Amino acid sequence: MPTAHLTSDPTTPSTTKPNRKKRKHTISKPTIPQPHNTAPSTPKPIKTPHPTHVLVQHTLAQPQWTYIHLSPITSSTVPTPKPTPSSNETLATPSQPPLDPITLRLHLTAALSQYLGDHGAAIPVDILLISPNVCQDIYIRVPAEDGSAVVAAVGGWQGVWGGEAVGYRIRGRSEWLACLVGGAGGGEKGLFDFN
């Protein structure tokens, strides 16, 4: 049986096909004529090689504190009916001692412990301001998660101060002190305006 040997000798005839280059067929796309009265196209934005650098970015999703605006209500500040002309009695309005931070702290602790027991007494309350004006605006700060409990406890509490019944009216509540003080509008004074 004869065997075939493949050699690379140029003198022997080769049975392989010659190497042909493939042609690329390109199809040209037809051009659509553009109308002459079109508006000029907007310039493309220039791409900067480096993006802008953000120095600080911080979002306060959950504020840490709740600010509460209070004012004391005593039996002398509650409107009482005027005496009838036939009565010779006069209504005595006892002079109330000024509210100090220690008395306010005792009232707030009593209200919180009455409402929530020892857990309420453990809520930290920061007294920010007791204004010396007639209505004695009070601003306090409590942790945000305890804000609703403090509003419910203080708003529903009644005690005794200077021989009179006393309670506290909640005049405002906010997670931002600036909103509570500055957002009042209508002629109310700010946090540190005493005149």
Which CATH number fits the domain that encloses residue 162? 3.30.70.3250
Listed residue (79, 107, 101, 80) closest to 166, CA to CA: 107
Q: Is 25 a domain residue?
A: no
pLDDT one-digit tens code per residue, 162-178: 788 999 999 999 998 88
Q: Is 110 a domain residue?
A: yes
Q: Which residue has the tokens 């553009």?
A: 34
Q: Is 167 a domain residue?
A: yes
pLDDT one-digit tens code per residue, 96-148: 677 889 999 999 999 999 999 999 999 999 999 998 876 788 999 999 999 99
Q: Is 7 a domain residue?
A: no
Q: Is 135 a domain residue?
A: yes
Strand pairing class (138-143; 126-130): antiparallel
Q: Is 156 a domain residue?
A: yes
Provide CB contacts within 8 A for 3, sequence distance 6+: none
Q: Is 46 a domain residue?
A: no
> Which residues form the domain of 177?
65-76+98-181
**Is the separation of the CB atoms in 67 and 141 below 8 Å?**
yes
How many distinct structural domains can be found in the chain?
1
Listed residue (108, 99, 122) closest to 156, CA to CA: 108
Q: Is the pLDDT of residue 54 over 60?
A: yes
